[in-house]
Structure 1
């Protein structure tokens, strides 16, 4: 079986969907139903099972999506039914009434269980705030927590059963604004209630603005999504997505307008081509780094005209200094530096300014070039080749050297780049 073919079967994936579809089709076939009725039974059950996948797999719930493999399987079966119906001149509406009980009985409100019910977001405006202190106070209240910002402006995202306690806690640091509290359980219940008779979910009304970003690395993708990005197109310095990839992502976002964050100078042109090709309004915020995008997204205010929103984001991203620590891929001589293939190099604002044999040494030398008297926040993401212990040790060194700055570090998981760092 499919389960036996997988070393570690995971519920909430295509395995769950295909198991339920197979069982439903077998039951229907035993009633001597024809192939169209049998497949429609499977499709109806497949859709109801698909809607349950986020409650079975936390990563889907966090991303706000259903399992893509399960969705693809259902599309495949729908294509078979459409072909059979056309060939046999069958009206699919003849089957709708008899299919209704399957969809209604399969999933109920009681089937959906969430450990934390409310998605809470808030901006804190204060003075001399510490994101680490805020995290420590919020951590017992829920999960999926993200606290980012500087001494004067911090954005909080957390899933909790007590949004009031979250807000009360945040009030300790300053004034609150842009408060959003979504009842995730009620949203799922409402979606179930709106299903049509054969179990197909209604197409949701497009929102005003969607966000698409380019990124790679488990931690990077998680942060981008927590800051409101709808779709992350995998790519980066060594794997540039095509114009078609970005166009498909913009079309997939259920929104009237889309803002793209290329996050690499080599991808900006491909993103700009999407503006001409997409039927939706598309605006490019020409970010050259993940760090620029994160800064822009923290200040994201969805109210207003799309062009105005993008302009405000561009203004924000220009306030951040960003750098990268990576490996040289060939011998060269740049900016007075003699670089050998395999050396660790530091790239500041697109220019190689540091070289060494040690990634931590390069990171610290970059910060010497980036931090000035006006700096208040240092943020870095460590890549897949850096251990948590190594990142923690370099964080301690940075905290000691730059005691006037808040310092944050996160697992990025990005390949090829030991560290991504920003200073604000």
Structure 2
């Protein structure tokens, strides 16, 4: 990397900042996890921050790729085409962090980056950076329902204050922000009793220092002196019943996180409702898209509140008791809880299928239209499966490369991962149906792959505009019947089009038809299609599942 990347925080420098921040959090992730005692001692702050920054980096890299910027790696040398506009780059950074935010600290970091982007979109010199840090600190504090001193909020505020006193030189401002954050981090045990009792600094603040250190390096080419290595938090402290103590004994049982499409007024009502339900409430975002984080005892009520406010998706619920049990086992035995031998991780298009796959023992990742999961989400699911061997079912042709990247990273962590290239949810259901954990791994993978490959898949969709398809010209509002990804039938009635698709799929034979209906599908559709199959194809069985909210009104599988 060159010693200087320019006088401004230009797109190349933002790109470098993302890469360096991810590298820094990758190096320090386990150490940050080990000192995580507030707001819940669940040992995942470093991991959550890493995944949040990974999502931000992916968004920036996607912007460079879309802009035809074929060269110029993280050092921004500019080869291969023009870089994106500065405003677009910082907005992509903020948006990526927002949609990929994880945990309490990751959600706050996403709001910090959003607050910075709002200012840096109008200029990226030293004065703008100082103002951006101040705006970011205020925005993050406003996003937290009950701000607490001695946390990442205090570290961000100190960084902004120091940056505002540093003059106008960009590198001086960045260095001052970093130094201010370092000093504030060292002071956190004196501000928050739970940190003092555990003998550690705040984990979220430590992560923010790493991110600001990466900014200094991106702008100057020189990395700041590393933060002294922290010791692991005391296993005896904090005590149960205190903030950040034994979550299983005294605090809410679940962490609930989801993205939400909703207006400002609805979000204001949502904040009030979630604040009454639990604690550690952080709602970040704006312009119709929000990331919601809360700790509650009633996870269903927290999700329900999101449904009433707008459209929640990428819903993730974590049971703290399971994490606490693993941590206790690690302390008692000197090593983490013994992982299971084998697990299945499946991407599913709706909550109904998520429940079905979970009942079958799979760890699920929810994918909705226009919001495919990133490789970090899939890697996180593989880690949550906590197994030596994992079978990964992407259930989408579009996720093949994303799943492959997650599998490679999991293998680097010592997990044996087999990626079965399922292209639809019904293929994943077929694979899961023949899954046998007691078999040898290779035999199990072969059987699951064969079951998926023997399943043809179809779905119904409604045309949004007039267009040419492989089955002819369709008009807006027409019902499209797709088989193996291509339009095969065009109709006006949902049930009649579905029957046409079934007839085509069964013309080559079949033993089992799987129907997955969306929540808004006509109530009588399943019965009509079951009757159609029974009357026309006597030897074919039919299985019906309810997928909940999914992108297609009907998914079809034929084995």
TM-score, normalisation: structure 1: 0.55
CA distance in 2, matches of 1:226, 1:375: 26
The residue correspondences of 1:231-310 to structure 2 (distance < 5 A) are 232-236=364-368, 238-278=370-410, 279=412, 280-310=415-445
Contact 1:382–1:412, Cα closer than 8 Å, also in 2 = yes
Q: 2:362, 2:196 → 1: CA distance? A: 44
Structure 1 residue 310 displacement after superposition: 2.1
How much has 1:374 moved relative to structure 2? 4.3
Deviations 1:19-74 (A, max 9, x none): xxxxxxxxxxxxxxxxxxxx989968x99xxxxxxxxxxxxxxxxxxxxxxx959x
Consecutive unaligned residues of structure 2, counting only runs of 5 or more, are: 1-35, 44-102, 109-147, 153-184, 200-232, 250-320
How far apart in 2 are the matches of 1:297 and 1:271? 17
1:215 to 344, 348, 351: 348
* TM superposition shift of 1:193: 12
Equivalent runs, 1:309-328 vs 2, <5 Å: 309-328=444-463
Would you say the 8 A contact 2:471–2:490 is kept in 1? no
Relative to structure 1, is the Cα distance of residues 272 and 193 closer, same or farther in structure 2, using a 3 angstrom cutoff?
Answer: closer
Q: What's the offset of the Cα at 1:367? A: 1.1
In structure 2, distance between residues paired with 1:295 and 1:98: 47
Aligned position for 1:60? none
SS at match of 2:395: coil
TM-score, structure 2 as length reference = 0.43
1:58 match? none
Please list the CA deviations of residues 198-233 of structure 1 after superposition, one character each: whole Å capped at 9, or x if unmatched.
99xx94311122221111212111111122212x22
Between the two proteins, the alignment pairs up a number of residues equal to 282
- Worse-superposed segment, 407-416 or 377-386: 407-416
1:197: Cα distance to partner? 12
Map of 1:204 onto structure 2? 337
Question: Cα–Cα, structure 1 residues 405 and 304, in superposed 2: closer, same or farther, change >3 Å?
Answer: closer
Match of 1:390 among 525, 528, 548: 525
Partners of 2:394 and 2:400 within 8 A in 1 = yes
CA contact (8 A) 1:100 1:197 kept: no
Q: Is residue 41–residue 99 contact of structure 1 (8 Å, CA) maintained in 2?
A: no
Match of 2:483 in 1: 348
How well do the aligned residues superpose, as a CA RMSD in angstroms?
4.5
Q: Deviations over 1:155-213 (max 9, x none)?
A: xxxxxxxxxxxxxxxxxxxxxxxxxxxxxxxxx99x979957999xx943111222211
Pick from 511, 516, 524 the counterpart of residue 381 of structure 1. Answer: 516
User: In the alignment, what sits opposite 1:141?
Assistant: none
Answering whether residue 541 of structure 2 is matched by residue 406 of structure 1, we say yes
Instruction: Return closer, same or farther for 1:288/1:204 CA change in 2, 3 Å cut-off.
Output: same
Structure with greater proportional helix content: 2
Of Structure 1 and Structure 2, the greater strand share is in: 1
- CA apart distance, 1:380: 0.3
Change (3 A) 1:225 1:95: closer
- The CA distance in 2 between the partners of 1:41 and 1:276, in whole Å, is 32
- Please state if 1:417 is matched with 2:552: yes
**Do the aligned partners of 2:329 and 2:337 also contact (CA within 8 Å) in 1?**
no
Partner of 2:358: 225
